[in-house]
Structure 1
C-alpha cells in the first residue's frame, strides 16, 4: 500500500544530525562530570559544560537549517534508502 503523504524527511539532514550530536555530547560530558564529581571540584565544571552544550544543539541545528542544510534546504541532497 502506497503512502499518499509526502515523506517529510524525518530529520535526515546535516542540520538535524549536527543538532543531535551536539546535544548527545552535552549529555555525555555532563554524565561524565557527574560520575567524576566525587574526585574534586574540577570535575564539576564538566557538568556545567554539558549543561551549556544541550541548548546549543538546537540553536546550531536551526542555524544550519537556515543556511540551507535542512531537509528542504538547497544545500541538502537526500540519499537513497
Structure 2
C-alpha cells in the first residue's frame, strides 16, 4: 500500500469533480419541476472525473 493513502492531487481532483457531479445531479432532482438537463450535466461531471483522474495520474500527479 502506498505511503500517501490516496492523498495525491490526482485523487483529490477526481473526487472533487465526482462530488460536484453528485451535488449538481442531486440539486436537479430536488427542483420542483425536475430538471433532467441539469441532472444529465451532473452525470456527465461524474463520468468526466474518471478520465481526469487517469490523465493526472499519467502526468505524474498520482501515486508512484
**TM-score, structure 2 length as denominator?**
0.88
Structure with the greater relative contact order (CA < 8 A, sep ≥ 6): 1 or 2? 2
* 2:61 alignment counterpart: 69
- Comparing both structures, which one devotes a greater share of its residues to helix? 2
Pair 1:39 & 2:50 matched: no
Structure 1 unpaired stretches of 5+ = 1-6, 73-81
CA RMSD, aligned part only? 1.3
- TM-aligned CA deviation for residue 39 of structure 1: 2.7
Alignment of 1:17-32 (within 5 A): 17-32=12-27
Question: Which protein has the larger Cα radius of gyration, Structure 1 or Structure 2?
Answer: 1
Count of aligned pairs: 63
**TM-score, structure 1 length as denominator?**
0.71
Structure 2 unpaired stretches of 5+ = none
